[in-house]
Amino acid sequence: MTFFPIAGLAGELTGRSTAGVSRNAIPMVLLHGIQGSARAWDEVLKHLPNRIPTLAPNLRGRGGSVAPTDPMAYSVDSFADDLAAVLDALERPSFLVGWSMGVLVSLAYLRRYGQNRLSALVLMSGTSQGSKCQWFSGENAEEIAQEAELRATRLALKESAAPMAAAGAWLSVRCTDFRSVLPSIDVPTLVIHGSADDQCPLSHGQLLADTIPGAEIALLDGGVHNMLAQDPAWVASRLVHLYDSVTQLSQ
């Protein structure tokens, strides 16, 4: 476990030893969802080869990262600022993978900071329009926080965000629309989606793939929202395939 300054706050990154990994290797950064933490990637990491340096930030309100009590501190733009601090510290373009809310954070980052820090992008089980999702039904932070525990169990999350962190994030997510960002993305992009996703229906993933120039889509037949737990080996194989393609192009 490595502790890391994120956006001037005490944040947390998990990753694997980089012993034996090329110093020029492209780092893979894995973003969790609205209620998850870096541990959402545990099973996928087991299937990624050691030659790929990987790290998964715990965004604010998760794991050992700072957890403000103000729900407004968990806006998608705040998460994007946290991500910017991570990518800047890596000092070389990264392979960015966002799952669920991590997709919205990735798109918010692109809108705020551009794509100079990215070598490739993977958008998994996500959407460009949080305003079209129905992850929670509560009208205020307290009601949403109560729902959060049940949803974490339903999605089989290994570790959950603080309920207020999930509530604050949802209050921001449900107002987002990043469709205008999609046509300007010009890094290699893969959209990964499950055909049976009831949290972000397949039409959301298809919109991403159809609007981002040159994007490809990989569909998991019968795939649910949390493909990280459902079929981590399949997810890892898709990530490695794109990673190797991008690596070959950069050589």
Q: Which two tokens stand for residue 115?
A: 């794509």
User: Which among 16-25, 49-58, 131-140, 235-244 has the top mean pLDDT?
Assistant: 235-244
In angstroms, rounded to a whole number, what is the distance separating the alpha carbons of residues 140 and 170? 10
Please tell me the predicted confidence (pLDDT) of residue 228. 96
In angstroms, rounded to a whole number, what is the distance separating the alpha carbons of residues 126 and 99? 6
Distances in whole angstroms, Cα of residue 61 to Cα of each of 16, 43, 166, 236: 22, 22, 8, 26
How large is the average pLDDT for residues 197-217? Answer: 97
Please tell me the predicted confidence (pLDDT) of residue 18. 46
pLDDT at 21 over 80: no
How large is the average pLDDT for residues 89-98? Answer: 93
Domains in the chain, CATH or no CATH each: 2-11+27-246 (3.40.50.1820)
Give 155-175 pLDDT, tens digit per residue.
Answer: 777 787 888 888 889 999 999
Give 99-110 pLDDT, tens digit per residue.
Answer: 999 999 999 999
Residue whose entry in the numeric block shows the structure tokens 């993977």: 122
The band of 23, judged by pLDDT with boundaries at 50, 70 and 90, is: low
| Backbone phi and psi for residue 197, each to the nearest 5 degrees, phi listed first | -70, 115
Q: What is the CA radius of gyration of the chain?
A: 16
Give 105-144 pLDDT, tens digit per residue.
Answer: 999 999 999 999 999 999 999 999 998 988 888 888 888 8
Please tell me the predicted confidence (pLDDT) of residue 8. 37
Q: What share of the chain has pLDDT > 90, as a percent? A: 62
